[in-house]
């Protein structure tokens, strides 16, 4: 389903939020419904997510059935699930009736069994076949992203014949596929041959033959290509659309750039949220219990880490009793190592994502990172030690503090390089787990180094 | 300049890296040059960034002049600067000669004065006018993103006339603008009227009149619209291109989705890097000194924070001397508050970016976050206190520990909600500064609460 940008500059999301909020507060449901009717699904979806649950349900009830489907696909999965759970099967069947094949495929698994059965039964044969074709491939592959409505022509046709074919198709079907910037050229056996851009079609002489004009340099994307890689191809080669082929080179669909934009945004959001251990949390007003449960995992991991660090400190209780300054200064050693490590970690995670860090140059990266941190260690270890010496009037304490800081800064750089690389090798997303593992390392080693050196040299 | 996707699946970036590395290691420069010639600018740019500086210069020297420009615009700014500094003015003039207007505009400010003068002088009048039009607007606005080569037609033309016009333009100029999915409809005074998609142009009858067919619901984007907002519009409304108008509604260019994809990717990368205080660091093999300098700022801020926290601990030296367990347990209180706060902070930063959090619902967000953390505080404070009680055989210590943990977890949730909101109000990017400010709060308050409560109740 396609919507246009009406009033995009005037009625922006936050105005819709304010107006809708006022209408609902004064229980003026007609006004609220009118507000919604004048707005577009992405704006409604965003506004809906800005409200807590009781308001969301009110808004949901006010939406026309057809609009419900269009809003639903714009929502985060968590919010989708909530609204689906609150809707009757009949409502849902009406809501998804107008969705495009690929939109429906995205939503399908989240619908109740009962609704899925009816939706499948009421599809005409052509729509069902295309639906099954999309669903054959996992979500995060080219096949899962593709539209199955590519228009294909033969290489021996003239441009004139192509134009006539397109006009006929339009007359018969009432519309052409969305976001069409090219037609795809295939042979008799549906084998992919090349791309004829609409821009060439409208600007070259009508008697030219397709096969002479078509762009054969654009490789088709195999259906099992990971979505991330598809996004990289679109970015690097500035594509608007690309053909998708099955394992035999047969054309089965096309990917348009708007789907790729969604992949890139989701990837970015995933990275942001993972870094706080929130990878599944996409709804700001999710039920408190379920939010608490998800976040508990991360807090739990951190508590285990923190107790291990505490145990390390505990091994030096005797030293701390003799020199309380150790207790005062030890968190500085741990936190400086943590920050230095996070900087390296972030750089390496980005490098891995861009294919710029691999076994071939990990050694060089490590050397560079150790070089950078050595310079900073010199600077900060000396500054910090000087402050500590003045504070406690104790030169030896300053020297131990400086050594521990230097060691933990180097440890941070080393762990920051190796941890994401090792996690990646183990098939774990470094953006997800890198931070915890790193912090555990810099805390434990930070406390151990400082208290250990102090015990050995100062007491 | 436009390149196609050749061999995208076979010769991927990491293979280019390996092959090129081997060729350079064996000093087989011919082989290396051949490798480069068979590759495409984005792959070359990515590979180049995977090598340290001495290799990069070798690769740079092996590139054909025209290729240099195309590779240059694909590189991170830091790497661009380095290679520009290593090139002679003559080389640079040749390198940028083939670039598109908007590519040149992006690079222009980074070129040496001497090169800029020559580049401007050697432009023909039409190119210079268009160049100046793009440069009139800041980089991060719609005007800075736009291409100035939009093809415009009048509303009273027939489709047949439009087709003839496009064929004539193609014959005369040899090519049409890149990524053209639509022509823009304007009146006599160049005022924007609507959009005629190529898809409609090729599929509707030739005697139809443009004004009856054109899509008038797509609002043009004012040139000063921020790039971020442009990206949101493209995402929400699945646009492939959009017209850009000046303050008088006159058509001045168009934005295509490939430029928007770059904006989204840069935004994502900015968020990732900022969270580690690396916002300017884009080159993995930047010179060690300059990397060290940039990261020093963040380490310095952290050192100040850490010393403030240490000072707080120092105020309780006497308590620690009497009960060393305090020194052992206090980092747990600080780190749990920090993690809980980071979770809330991340959620709120995302909410602000999506316009889902504002003065109207910040109160609700805070209430929800406090609810979530209350549940987790109950769980973790009791667990942690139980462990501490068993460890130290001291019930009162456990109670104080549990209270301090609870208070600091609530503090984390509160600070995580309020800090990004306050920073945003002050015009500071919360993704950049939120983490430091939060950690300072949770550290200082964590130590103060725990040691303070212990001093008051235990000693």
Q: Which of A3-17, A94-108, A130-144, A393-407 has the lowest mean pLDDT?
A: A3-17
What mean pLDDT do residues A145-167 have?
93
Contact A187, A152 (CB under 8 A): no
Q: Is A42 on the interface with B (CB under 8 A)?
A: yes
- Taking an 8 Å cut-off on Cβ atoms, the answer to whether A361 and B51 are in contact is yes
Phi then psi for B126, rounded to 5 degrees?
-65, -45
**Cβ separation B284–A347 shorter than 8 A:** yes
Report which secondary-structure segment, H or E, holds A255: strand A251-256
Whole-number pLDDT of residue B280 = 64
Q: What is the mean pLDDT of residues B105-134?
A: 89
Q: What is the pLDDT of residue A203?
A: 94
CB atoms within 10 A of CB A358: 17
Residue A10: its pLDDT value, please? 38
- Over residues B57-61, the mean pLDDT reads 93
Residue pairs between chains A and B whose CB atoms are closer than 8 Å: 405
Q: What is the mean pLDDT of residues A300-328?
A: 95
Closest residue of chain B to A355, computed from CA coordinates: B14
Instruction: Give the span between the Cα atoms of A270 and A448, in whole angstroms.
Output: 34
Q: Which residue has the higher pLDDT, A18 or B339?
A: B339
Q: Note the CATH number of domain B288-457.
A: 1.10.357.20
Taking CB atoms and an 8 Å cutoff, what residues of chain B touch A313?
A: 327-328, 331
Measured distance CA(B88)–CA(B170) in Å, rounded: 36
Please answer yes or no on whether B360 and A17 come within 8 Å at the CB atom: yes
Query: Which residue of A70, A177, A180, A199 is the best one to mutate when testing the B interface, meaning the one whose CB has the most B CBs within 10 A?
Result: A199
CATH of segment(s) B152-258: 3.10.580.10
B298 at A interface, C-beta within 8 A: yes
Spell out which residues of chain A touch residue B198, defining contact as CB-CB under 8 Å: 180-181, 198-199, 201-202
Alpha carbon distance B225, B143 (integer Å) = 8
Structural tokens at position A146: 């593709």
Residues B11-46 have pLDDT tens digits of: 467 788 888 888 888 889 899 998 898 888 888 998
Instruction: Find which of A277-291, A372-386, B340-354 is predicted with most confidence, using mean pLDDT.
Output: A372-386
Task: Count the helix, strand and coil residues of chain A and give each as a percent rounded to the nearest 5.
Answer: 65, 10, 25
User: Tell me: the pLDDT tens digits for B233-274?
Assistant: 898 888 899 999 999 999 999 999 988 988 888 888 877 787
For residues A392 and A412, is the Cβ–Cβ distance under 8 A? no
pLDDT range class, residue A358, cuts 50, 70, 90:
confident
The ipTM is 0.85
Contact between residue B108 and residue B79 where contact means Cβ atoms under 8 Å apart: no
Cα first-last separation, chain B: 75
CA distance A128 to chain B (A): 25
Express as a percent the part of chain B with pLDDT over 70. Answer: 97
More confidently predicted of B4 and A402: A402
Q: Alpha-carbon distance B349 to B353, whole Å?
A: 6
* CB-based contact B331 A443, cutoff 8 Å: yes
With b for 16 or more beta-carbon neighbours within 10 A and e for fewer, the A304-343 pattern comes to: ebbbebbebbbebeebbbebbbbbbbbbbbbbbbbbbbbb
- 3-class SS of residue B250: strand
pLDDT of residue B4 exceeding 60:
no
Helix (H, G, I), strand (E, B) or coil at B245: strand
pLDDT, tens only, A230-271: 998 898 888 899 999 999 999 999 999 988 988 888 888 877
CB < 8 Å to A42, chain B: 235-237
pLDDT of residue A85: 92
User: A207 or A266: whose pLDDT is higher?
Assistant: A207
Q: How many CA atoms lie within 13 A of B118 on its CB side?
A: 13
String of DSSP letters for B304-357: HHHHHHHHHHHTTHHHHHH-THHHHHHHHHHHHHHHHHHHHHHHHHHHHHTT--
What is the pairing mode between strands A152-154 and A182-186?
Answer: parallel
B405 vs B398: CA distance, rounded Å:
10
| Residue B384 near residue B401 (C-beta atoms within 8 A) | yes
Of residues B100 and A345, more confidence is placed in A345
Nearest to B356 among A46, A240, A299 (CB): A46
- Token pair for residue B77? 């700014």
Contacts of B300 in chain A (CB under 8 A): 380
Element (H, E) at A183: strand A182-186
Which residue among A240, A300, A303 places its CB closest to the CB of B240? Answer: A240
Dist CA A100 CA B78 (whole Å): 43
**Averaged pLDDT for residues B267-282:** 75
Could you please report the per-residue DSSP string of A223-251? Answer: TTSBHHHHHHHHHHHT-SEEEEE-TTSBE
| C-alpha dist (Å) from residue A150 to A39, A153, A199, A216, B297 | 30, 10, 17, 17, 53
Please write the tens of the pLDDT for every residue from B348-398: 988 888 888 888 889 999 999 999 999 999 999 999 999 999 999 999 999
For chain A, what percent of residues have pLDDT higher than 90? 58
Query: Percent of chain A beyond pLDDT 70?
Result: 97
Tell me the per-residue pLDDT of B140-150, one tens digit each, with 9 for 90 and over.
899 989 988 88
Q: What is the pLDDT of residue B5?
A: 45
Q: Does B204 touch chain A (CB under 8 A)?
A: yes
Please determine, for residue A453, whether its predicted confidence score (pLDDT) is greater than 90. yes
The answer, for B8 touching chain A at a CB cutoff of 8 Å, is yes
Q: Best of A24, A38, A169, A181 to disrupt the B interface by mutation (most B CBs within 10 Å)?
A: A181
Beta-carbon separation of B339 and A205 below 8 A: no
Please give the residue of chain B at the shortest CA–CA distance from A10: B219
Percent of chain B with pLDDT over 90: 58
Q: Specify the higher pLDDT residue, B214 or B129.
A: B214
Does residue B10 register a pLDDT over 70?
no
Min distance B296 CA to chain A CA atoms (Å) = 6
Q: Which residues touch B74 (CB under 8 Å, ≥6 apart)? A: A236, B41, B42, B44, B45, B46
CATH architecture of A152-274: Roll (3.10)
The pLDDT assigned to A365 comes to 92
Output the average pLDDT for chain A.
Answer: 89
pLDDT score at A420: 94
Is 60 exceeded by the pLDDT of residue B316? yes
CA of B345 vs chain A CAs: smallest distance (Å): 9
Class of domain B13-135: mainly alpha
* pLDDT band at A280; cut points 50, 70, 90: low
End-to-end alpha carbon distance in chain A: 75
User: Can you give the pLDDT at residue B100?
Assistant: 84
Question: Which residues are within 8 A (CB) of B41 and not within 5 positions of it... i.e. 6 or more apart?
Answer: B3, B67, B70, B71, B73, B74
CA distance B117 to chain A (A): 30
Chain B residues in contact with A384 (beta carbon < 8 A): 303, 307
Of B8, B347, B384, the CB nearest to A219: B8
What pLDDT score does A9 carry? 42
Tell me the C-alpha distance between B354 and B356, whole Å: 5
* B32 Cβ contact partners less than 8 Å away, ≥ 6 residues apart: B20, B23, B24, B58, B59, B62
Please give the pLDDT value at position A98: 84
CA dist B454 and B197 (Å) reads 72
Cα gap A342→A413, rounded to integer Å:
8
Give me the residue spans of the domains in chain A: 13-135, 152-274, 288-457
């Amino acid at each position: 389903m396609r919507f246009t940008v009406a009033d995009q500059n005037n009625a922006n999301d936050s105005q819709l939020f304010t107006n809708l909020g006022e209408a609902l507060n004064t229980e003026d449901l007609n006004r609220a419904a009118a507000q919604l009717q004048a707005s577009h699904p992405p704006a409604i979806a965003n506004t809906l997510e800005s409200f807590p649950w009781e308001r969301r349900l009110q808004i949901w009830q006010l939406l026309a059935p057809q609009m419900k489907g269009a809003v639903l696909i714009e929502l985060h999965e968590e919010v989708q699930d909530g609204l689906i759970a609150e809707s009757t099967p009949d409502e849902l069947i009406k809501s998804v009736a107008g969705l495009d094949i690929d939109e429906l495929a995205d939503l399908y698994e989240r619908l109740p069994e009962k609704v899925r059965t009816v939706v499948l039964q009421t599809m005409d044969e052509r729509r069902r076949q295309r639906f099954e074709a999309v669903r054959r491939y996992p979500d995060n592959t080219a096949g899962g992203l593709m539209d199955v409505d590519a228009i294909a022509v033969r290489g021996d046709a003239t441009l004139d014949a192509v134009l006539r074919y397109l006009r006929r198709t339009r007359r018969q079907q009432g519309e052409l596929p969305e976001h069409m910037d090219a037609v795809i050229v295939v042979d008799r056996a549906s084998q992919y041959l090349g791309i004829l851009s609409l821009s060439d079609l409208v600007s070259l002489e009508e008697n030219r033959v397709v096969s002479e004009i078509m762009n054969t340099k654009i490789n088709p994307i195999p259906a099992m290509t990971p979505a991330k890689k598809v996004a990289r191809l679109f970015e690097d080669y500035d594509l608007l659309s690309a053909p998708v082929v099955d394992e035999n080179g047969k054309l089965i669909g096309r990917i348009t750039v708007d789907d790729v934009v969604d992949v890139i945004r989701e990837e970015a959001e995933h990275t942001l949220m993972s870094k706080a251990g929130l990878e599944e949390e996409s709804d700001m007003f999710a039920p408190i219990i379920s939010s608490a449960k998800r976040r508990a995992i991360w807090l739990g991991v951190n508590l285990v880490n923190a107790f291990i660090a505490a145990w390390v400190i505990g091994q030096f209780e005797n030293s701390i009793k003799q020199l309380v300054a150790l207790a005062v200064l030890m968190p500085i050693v741990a936190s400086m190592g943590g920050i230095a490590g996070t900087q390296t970690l972030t750089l390496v995670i980005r490098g891995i994502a861009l294919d710029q860090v691999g076994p071939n140059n990990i050694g060089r990266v490590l050397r560079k990172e150790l070089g950078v941190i050595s310079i900073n260690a010199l600077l900060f270890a000396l500054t910090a030690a000087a402050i500590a010496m003045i504070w406690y009037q104790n030169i030896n304490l300053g020297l131990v503090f400086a050594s521990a800081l230097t060691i933990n800064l180097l440890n941070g750089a080393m762990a920051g390089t190796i941890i994401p690389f090792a996690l990646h090798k183990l098939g774990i997303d470094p953006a997800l787990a890198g931070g915890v593992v790193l912090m555990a390392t810099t805390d434990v080693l930070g406390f151990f180094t400082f208290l250990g050196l102090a015990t050995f040299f100062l007491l």
